Amino acid sequence: MQKWTNFIKYISAVFFFVISILTVIVALFLFREFSKAPEITRESLVDSLTSRIYDKDNNLIATVGNEHREFVSSEDIPDTVKDAVLSIEDSRFYSHVGLDPKRIVKAVIVNLSSGSSREGGSTITQQVVKTSLLTSSKTYERKLQEAFLSLKLESKYTKDDILEMYLNKIFYSDNQYGIKTAAKYFYNKELKDLSIPQIALLAGLPQQPMVYNPYDNPEAAKDRRNTVLYAMYNNNKITKAQYDEYINVPIDDGLINKNSSNRQLQTISNPKYGAYIDFVVKEIRSASIFSEEKDPFSLGLKIYTNLDPKLQEYVQTMLDEQHTPMRPHASQASISVLNTKNGLVEAIGGGKNYKYGGFNYSIDAKIQPGSSIKPIIDYAPGIEYYNWDSQTKFLDTPYLIAGTNFYIQNWDRAYHGNIAMRNALAMSYNIPAVRAFESVGFERSKYFAEKLGINITSEVPTTAIGGSVDNVSPMQMAAAFAAFGNEGVYNKPSSIVKVIDRYNNEISGIKPEPKRAMNASTAFIITDMLKDVLTTNGTSPNGKVAGFDMAGKSGSSTFDDSAAINYGIDVVNSTKDSWMVGYTTEHTVAVWQGADNLDSAAKALSQEQDETTQLIMANVMSQAHNNTPPEQFKVPDTIEKSGSVYYAKDRNTETDHLYAGTSLDAVYQSKISQKNREDRLLAEQATQIARILPTAPTTKKTTTTNKSTTTNRSTTTNKSTATSSTTRRTG
């Protein structure tokens, strides 16, 4: 018995020793975390925070965020307002100590049962701490600091003080902050003059300001308002009769009419910067690091961008005034300029007479890319995965779209036999592009394009020539082509150089990291061929800047036959969308002109207007370089020559699992590519020998046909139909 007693004492001693050690460790850990918590000051709790946007020269170009806030003291806040806010946000506000365990447990149960974050456990005190002193990251350090600071805040200030801070701080959408400001903005009333349904709307807005904005989502706003009214009834702040009456009040009762223009409160130093600021705002709002923020611009950020103010004003002025080299027309246009090496956007012409908050044709438009898509989904995948080179041959012979009576046509309405890729791409012939697309296989093209930020979902033949439903924005096209000029490295287009928080710390993780989209050899071979596009041997000689080593691709789309019937448009000689994307080692420029909406024949581009797209690109390219020639494109170490033709020593094997064992097997096709190169080299050598030794026996000429194309001499079995208009594509 004594031994058992001693054993129990020993175990107890060990247990208490371990507990003591753990207590000390936890205490030290908590002390460390609490010591890192920021100081609570009146200034940090109530000061208005404004985010500022700067250009590449660090000049302030816009202020965004807490630009409109009127302060209201606690004694001037009506009890009905307090009742509504506390009923929906924190009904035990006056009884808890800054944390509400009962609320936390309830939120956990509700969220676990629903499988989503439907209810929050934060008190009003915690929300003041979070929005004033901390970030919205969901780390354990931040949660501990939030709890510690909430208790500290409660000990330092009265409940009325904390509620006053909250009601002056919260965001109500449309850049309105504080409940007094919101009352004037939505109802043009003082708080004391609001009706209870109006108060309930304002009380419910802060949970999701964009979702419950009555101008944008009146039904959602009404549901949220009624939820607040029920909470007030449940907390005995209104009677059942009042509740029944108020839920039937129209949501727009007393609401001030506002259009989109007078809902914008951003201060922009130059109206010509509107399209660029619009891009910055959208990029910040969509950044994953700010996903928990109701309005990241309320955080007092300093946002440093790559905006070139001189170039920005130049491109927007060109669109607004439609001056040379533009030709005035009734349709729309956009210009996107970015840095080839890092994807940072330098200028955005968002559309003619663009105003901030409008439809930005550079980033919002989804347009048929026409032939400008050919390098991306037709030819580059074959170079990357099959080891094609610029002399790989494709049959340019009649091509009937399977299941239809329509033929794919070239822009010159002619056929060119067994044609080399270089010539087919430079002259933008459609039939070779379709056969190249089929040769690499839809899944392979799709995989390659996705790495360049382009999504394709349709494998019909017209996808190969930009005629499918997978439309793109000019900014997307600029970024994709920039990868060709950046040795195969893709950068998602971004305006952001860096972002500094209110404590002068740089925020990381906003701009996406560069990604290798293709081998440097593929990028070089495509670039080498696209240089021909800008010559008299290509479709876009007017896109060339004298003395610049540059490459590019044009594209266009036509109207369907209904346009001829409904609006009298000449669908053969008119253009719906006109593209030109050009790049150097330093800058990439994408220009689009076209019909924003089809409501008259005036929206069609004439041939002369279509041709100006090339001139605009060349003009802007020259401006971007300050008329100084850029560095030339470098030949990668992975490139060799076979005769006069560049080819890659490396081959990307990532897609070898696709179509394995079929005629589209990448290993099989790469062997064909190598055999064709060897045959061409022998033929070239035989020709040279014949020139040097004319009396030598004649060597029978070897005729090589790329077997990757012979498998596609029959028409596709895809049963999708196409209209006659989709077969009329120009370069």
Q: Kind of pairing, strands 417-420 and 68-69?
A: unpaired
- Written as six digits, the tokens of 664 are 């589209």
- Written as six digits, the tokens of 601 are 């024949």
CA distance 692 to 685: 11
- Written as six digits, the tokens of 635 are 């030949």
Q: H or E stretch including 64? A: strand 60-65
* Amino acid found at 439: S
- Written as six digits, the tokens of 396 are 């340019």
Q: For residue 84, which phi and psi values (nearest 5 degrees)?
A: -65, -45
- Written as six digits, the tokens of 590 are 């994408």
For the chain, the straight-line distance linking the first and the last C-alpha, in angstroms and rounded, comes to 99
CA distance 126 to 472: 44
The tally of CA atoms less than 13 A away on the side-chain side of residue 423 is 12
Sign of CA dihedral 587, 622, 592, 278: positive
Q: Three-state SS string across 476-523, please? A: HHHHHHHHHHCCCEECCCECEEEEECCCCCECCCCCCCCEECCCHHHH
CA distance 541 to 411: 17
Cα–Cα distances (Å) from 606 to 595, 693, 729, in that order, read: 12, 55, 15
Task: State yes or no: is 269 an active-site residue.
Answer: no
- Written as six digits, the tokens of 520 are 């440097």
- Written as six digits, the tokens of 594 are 């076209």
* Amino acid found at 181: T
Identified catalytic residue from 132, 334, 362, 371: 371
Task: State yes or no: is 631 an active-site residue.
Answer: no
Q: Kind of pairing, strands 176-177 and 68-69?
A: parallel
Identified catalytic residue from 89, 146, 487, 611: 89
Angle at 342 between CA 340 and CA 345, to 5 degrees: 75
- Written as six digits, the tokens of 140 are 């354990």
Burial (CB count <10 Å: 0-12, 13-18, 19+), residue 161: middle
Beta bridge partners, 368, equal: none
Burial (CB count <10 Å: 0-12, 13-18, 19+), residue 2: exposed
Evaluate whether 355 touches 271 at the Cβ level (below 8 Å): yes
Evaluate whether 398 touches 407 at the Cβ level (below 8 Å): yes
Any idea which residue has 């009506």 for tokens? 78
Catalytic residue positions, numbered: 89, 371
